[in-house]
Structure 1
Amino acid sequence: MSRPLDVAIVNGTVVDGTGAPRRRADVGITDGRVTVIGQTGLDIGPDTEVIDARDCWVTPGFIDVHTHYDAEVLVAPALSESLRHGVTTVVTGNCSLSAVYSDPVDVADLFSRVEALPRAAVIDALQSSADEWDGPQAWARAIDERHLGPNVASFLGHSDLRASTMGLGRSTESSQRPTRDEMSAMEGELEKALDAGFLGLSTMTNPWDKLDGDRYRSRSLPSTHATWREYRRLHKVLRRRDSILQSIPNLNTRYDMAFFLMTSSGLGRKPLKTSLLAAADPKSAPLLFAAFGPMAWVTNRLLRGRFRWQHLPTTFQVHADGIDLVVFEEFGAGRAA
């Protein structure tokens, strides 16, 4: 005799994520796992929680692969705005930004203007938790100990890593390069993050996003000042560890997209799993938009890479009430500020 279900979701329209047509079905869950999907015959016992999903869609939990919850998760770990939209896993540490190694003021200067967050609130959130971690292993433990809504995974941000190693000032001067010891230190700290379960490294080559604060205001993020030689040293660690590179190309010149495609290549070596964010509007950049598919096909099929675009496949509208908007930095006036 089978064990009654813990949870039964009945009368819903199931969209299972496989590409199959949506259908009316019931879903049974045991020990936190979906164990049956069918139209009749669920084993419902007296202690089974029954959820009537009539007029609702029943889907797998969505994975939001690009968030900047690094500060918010510390003070509002339920991340209820994501749960409301059916998201059950979020990924932080994108775009070279994380809060693992740098001190609270430096992290606030890295994040606040890029993400249109109140700088004082970011500093307060980080300072209230600053004694909880001194590296990636302790950071991961501090996150796990909170009452999380969704699951949380993270990249290590290159700007965070670079600023903590070189200092925020030197790391945002293009004339400055990490010393041999500093480069070795960054490789070692990346290894520690991967040991702690981080997904990989996020970098940034697009110069639009700027620092907040009074010390180095309007300088581009530290990661944008790195050379490809520095990137390659860190990519080598990721490749060896079978980890992931997340990045954004230079949207002024765009040609460095080719460098990322070649970076992912597996010709004569292990391919590097690469996720490249490029929100090309099919209306304003139709040729580039049309080239995305062929470029990925060439990289993955002919160059034996493991490359994915991270991009919205359709047009979208932006609703805002002024310059306190994340994408303001991406307008001409924002980039010039």
Structure 2
Amino acid sequence: MKNRTLIKNGLLFSGCQDEKAKIQDILILENGEIGNIGIIEADEEAHIIDANGKWVVPGFVDSHTHYDAELIASPGLKESARHGVTSIILGSCSVSAIYNSPEDISDSFTRVEAIPRDIMLPLLQKEKTWTNAKEWKAYISKLPLGINVASFVGHSDLRMHAMGIERSLQDNETATKEEQDHMLHMLNEALDAGFIGLSTMDNPWDKMDGNRYWSHKTPSFYSSWKERKNLIELLRKRDAILQGAPNLVTRINAINYMLASSGVFRKPLKTTMIAMMDLIGDRYIYPLISTASKAINTIANANFRMQSPPCPFTVYYDGVDSVMFEEFPSGEAMRHLAKNLDERNDLIRDPEFREAFKKEIKKKFAPKVWHKDLSKTLIIDCPDSSMIGKNFYDLAEEQQQHPVDFFLDTIIQYDKKIRWTTTIANDRVEKYDNLYNHKHNLISFSDAGAHLNNMAFYNFPLKMIKVVQESIDAGKPIMSMEKCIWRLTKEQADWFGLDCGHLKPGKIADLVIIDPNKFDAITETVETGQIEEFNNYDRLVNRNQGTVSRVMVGGKTIFENENFVSDYATTKKYGRFLEKQ
């Protein structure tokens, strides 16, 4: 059996933006490390992979995922792996699956991240043996991992455990000194185990699931910044990372994250916040956040990064079953009554409710993520087939109705049986130059593993590569391809302190072989796939037939010619838990 692998004749991108790509060979040793890069003679002891005409790049890094539940059931994380993502980060947005009971964890995850509770809860009840970060890491490390995993610890997870779930969800209820010390101990314990930092959340959209605390916000929302101070200072002291999201309704407390990162008369704190996008409904927010992030890094010596998806941010809705409706009071009221459709429909029929909905949906200057423009919608499925391919605004005009009345009547009639889509951000390709080159953002925020029927950005690195290549071909390059690959790999790995994203001798060979002649296969189209281990639960997926020729993790092929290897995520382990360096 040949124990070494030699990749021949590929155009090699090392992951360094200042190293020009060139045709080279890569020798991968039996232990999965890169032994040599250059012009290497083939020998009979090596398995040869011919990469002629193709690109060899480091495996991509996805630094914002919610794979915490899927990892347990399906440790291959196939929908990321098939697109060349070889390293991901769990535990985002204040929720992690570490310290609390299966029911408490499921209630904090499943509504806000749109993960089926009737799957996640039994899965945790069956599998959860860990009680702390070290044990969770040990559990992950024993799984037949397909790709590499790093993790934050969630602030809501800590707060629920320290205070008890009921007290953690109360307004004006502050953790006691003993409870704050307990949270500090748990965070310190997680950092000792190699976790990369703490994720928190201030967005009021994020609501609890289950029957006990339905529609309460997640625990970190109720935590003051004064209560968090010791946690933040521990992160600063230990060179760890704070990840968070501001209140997306008021947005004012985004300033807290920027100021926390400040390094004036102290060490800067690595801080990353979601998300910098060119919002259709709020065009001023992108230049404002862009300018503010530059200013805080330049003037206040911060180490602050936004997160940016590099492609149109398109979402899909089943009726009003989407977190986007949480951002305005009328939508929030409908979502609150989702478990009782009779009550919800009575509310929707109420003339006063309709008037409030109309006022809220047409507010031009209110901060908003969803543009709330019913003419920018597309109905893609409905029992009334005549509605498919049209938008709510035009259909309302045909019926001589107010668009909101038509929309709400449709929700009463069809509920989740009407499926529609809209793009809410990053619709203007001409803005990508600034977005891609912004020094103080990270190209990420896929939310992989969450919102399974609402969006799919698993192939975001390939989408960015395609856009950059098209700009190069047109003679108006957004950036060099070397910089593009760096932004998707080594830049993020270095910033998060992870040993990945770089091809050089001595490094573990996590890499992707890409066919640049198949970039036309990279589109905005989504398809429906299934998570076999989630009882074949439907999810939106991306496909780019033939673009990714091969994916290797730990020096071994996991994906080739649109197929995973036979022992993938079952009997053999390829990935590893990535500790913060």
Structure 2 length-normalised TM: 0.54
CA distance in 2 between partners of 1:323 and 1:36 (Å): 55
Q: 1:325 to 1:52 in 2, by over 3 A?
A: farther
Name the SS of the counterpart of 2:100 in structure 1: coil
Q: Does 1:200 align with 2:197?
A: yes
- Distance of 2:147 and 2:325 partners within structure 1: 29
Give the distance between the partners of 1:313 and 1:251, measured in 2 at CA: 20
Q: Equivalent residue of 1:128, what SS? A: helix
Q: Kindly provide the CA deviation profile for residues 8-66 of structure 1, in whole angstroms up to 9, marking residues without a partner as x.
A: 2234343443346655443332342334444xx32322121222334543210111101
Native 8 Å contact 2:11 2:55 kept in 1: yes
Residue 103 of structure 2 corresponds to: 105
Moved more, 76-85 or 93-102: 76-85
1:292 Cα deviation from its structure 2 partner: 3.0
Partner Cα separation in structure 2 for residue 37 and residue 320 of structure 1: 48
Letter in 1 for 2:116: P
Is contact 1:282-1:315 (8 Å) kept? no
- Between the aligned partners of 2:141 and 2:325, the Cα distance in structure 1 is 33
- Give how far 1:211 is off: 0.8
Amino acid corresponding to residue 123 of structure 1 in structure 2: L
Deviations 1:209-236 (A, max 9, x none): 1111000001111101111101222101
1:130 is the counterpart of 2:128: yes
Q: 1:277 aligned to 2:274?
A: yes
**What are the superposed Cα offsets for residues 82-117 of structure 1, whole Å, 9 maximum, x if unpaired?**
110111111000000001101000000011111211
Distance 2:259 2:306 in 1: 14
Residue 330 (structure 1) shift = 5.8
Distance 1:173 1:158 in 2: 15
Equivalent of residue 166 in structure 2, options 165, 169, 180: 169
Q: Does 1:96 align with 2:94?
A: yes
- Residues 1:320 and 1:53: Cα distance change in structure 2 (over 3 Å): farther
Q: Distance in 1 between matches of 2:327 and 2:37?
A: 45
> Aligned equivalents of 1:35 and 1:159: distance in 2?
43
1:225 maps to 2:222: yes
Tell me whether 1:261 sits opposite 2:253 in the alignment. Answer: no
Residue 27 of structure 2 corresponds to which residue in structure 1?
28
Moved more, 322-331 or 121-130: 322-331
Q: How far apart, CA to CA, are the structure 2 residues paired with 1:197 and 1:125?
A: 25
Structure 1, residues 299-327: CA drift from partner, whole Å, max 9, x if none?
22221111111122553333455556665
| Structure 2 residue aligned with 1:50 | 48
Residue identity in the other structure for 1:310: Q
Determine the C-alpha separation between the residues in 2 that align with 1:297 and 1:315: 23
User: Structure 1 302/218 Cα, relative in aligned 2: closer, same or farther at 3 Å?
Assistant: same
TM-score normalized by structure 1? 0.90
Q: 1:48 to 1:277 in 2, by over 3 A?
A: same
Q: Does 1:252 align with 2:249?
A: yes
Query: Aligned partner of 1:275: which letter?
Result: T
Distance in 2 between the 1:324 and 1:29 partners?
48
Could you tell me how far 1:281 is from its partner in structure 2? 2.8
Contact 1:264 1:272 survives alignment (8 Å): yes
**Greater mean alpha carbon deviation, residues 169-178 or residues 88-97:** 169-178
Q: Which runs of 5+ in 1 are unaligned?
A: none
CA distance in 2, matches of 1:23, 1:322: 50
Q: Contact 2:276–2:306 at 8 Å: present in 1 too?
A: no
CA contact (8 A) 1:155 1:198 kept: yes
Secondary structure in 2 matching 1:68? coil
The secondary structure found in structure 2 opposite 1:12 is strand
Work out whether residues 152 and 197 of structure 2, in 8 Å CA contact, stay in contact via their aligned partners in 1.
yes
Contact 2:197 2:242 in 1 (8 A): yes
| 1:292 corresponds to | 289
Q: Secondary structure at the match of 1:289?
A: helix
Deviation sequence 1:56-80 (CA, Å, 0-9, x none): 4321011110111111111211112
CA contact 2:205–2:323 (8 Å) conserved in 1:
no
Distance 1:54 1:174 in 2: 62
Quote the Cα distance in structure 1 between the aligned partners of 2:37 and 2:266: 42
**Runs of 4 or more off by more than 6 Å in structure 1?**
none
- Tell me the CA shift for residue 5 of structure 1: 8.9
Secondary structure (helix, strand or coil) at the match of 1:28 reads strand
Paired with 1:23 and 1:282, the residues of 2 have a C-alpha distance of 38
Match of 2:73 among 67, 72, 75: 75
What residue in structure 1 maps to residue 146 of structure 2? 149
**Highest CA radius of gyration, 1 or 2?**
2
The answer for the alignment partner of 1:59 in structure 2 is: 57
Amino acid at match of 1:260: Y
- Which residue identity does 2:67 align to in structure 1? Y
SS state at 2:7 partner: strand
Change (3 A) 1:105 1:5: closer
1:186 to 171, 177, 183: 183
Q: Rate the CA distance shift 1:150–1:236 in 2: closer, same or farther, 3 A.
A: same
Q: Which amino acid aligns with 1:112?
A: T
Give the number of equivalent residue pairs.
331
Aligned partner of 1:117 in structure 2 is 115
Distance 2:3 2:289 in 1: 45
User: Percent of aligned positions with the same letter in both sequences?
Assistant: 43
Report the Cα distance in structure 1 between the residues aligned to 2:325 and 2:54, rounded to whole angstroms. Answer: 36
Q: Which residue of 1 aligns with 2:298?
A: 301
Superposition RMSD on alpha carbons, in Å?
A: 2.3
In structure 1, the residue corresponding to 2:284 is in which secondary structure?
Answer: helix
Paired residues of 1:249 and 1:278 also in contact (CA < 8 A): no
CA positional deviation for 1:280: 2.9
Question: Once the two structures are superposed, what CA deviation does each residue of 1:221-261 show, in whole Å capped at 9, x if it has no partner?
Answer: 11011111012221011111111000001111111111111
